[in-house]
Amino acid sequence: NARPFPVKKFGVERAKREAYAWYEELRDAGRLKTKKHIPSPQPGVFYDARMQDWVCFFWRDNRPLSRCFSANKFGFDGAQKLAVAKQNDPVNGVLPLRKGKPLLKPFRKA
């Protein structure tokens, strides 16, 4: 159910009219689907359907931060659990951020 309406080809107003006419055709044919609602497990954690990941908002050092966990990489439920765990423990979370790298760069001699 996707169709382009390029502004270069139609112009702004005609593109809007064409898109609305196509929407009416889909509605009359019964091809419109309702958007799937995915409930949020807790405030500040939600599923981003466009990027297909779970997003969590949290505060660290008086600054708001967000992290995204891919449903493709971790699985739908796994990404949700990681997002909830990260929001509950914003300092450590569940996954290491640096993947074995040291916290500080070694001192370089001049």
Using 50, 70 and 90 to split pLDDT, how confident is the model at 21? very high
pLDDT tens track for 25-77: 999 999 988 888 999 999 999 999 999 999 999 988 899 999 999 999 999 99
Decide if pLDDT at 110 tops 60.
Answer: no
Query: How much is the pLDDT for 78?
Result: 93
**CA–CA dist 94, 85 (Å, integer):** 7
Mean pLDDT of the residues in the chain: 87
Do the bridges between strand 45-48 and strand 53-60 make them parallel or antiparallel, or are there none, so unpaired?
Answer: antiparallel
Six-digit token pair at 49?
Answer: 């359907």
Query: How much is the pLDDT for 109?
Result: 64
